[in-house]
Amino acid sequence: MVGRWEYLVLLLACLLVTAPLEFRGSGVYRRPARLARAVLPVAAVFTAWDVAAITRRHWDYNPEFVTGVRLPGALPLEELLFFLVIPICAVLTYEAVTALTRSGVADRR
Q: What is the mean pLDDT of the chain?
A: 91
Structural domain count of the chain: 1
Q: State mean pLDDT over 71-99.
A: 94
105 assigned to some structural domain: no
Q: State mean pLDDT over 64-89.
A: 96
Domain of residue 20 covers 3-99
pTM across the whole model: 0.86
DSSP conformational letter for 63: T
33 assigned to some structural domain: yes
Q: Using CA atoms in the order 41, 45, 51, 56, what is the torsion angle rounded to 10 degrees?
A: 170
107 assigned to some structural domain: no
Q: Please write the tens of the pLDDT for every residue from 13-55.
A: 999 999 999 887 778 999 999 999 999 999 999 999 999 999 9
43 assigned to some structural domain: yes
pLDDT at 54: 96
109 assigned to some structural domain: no
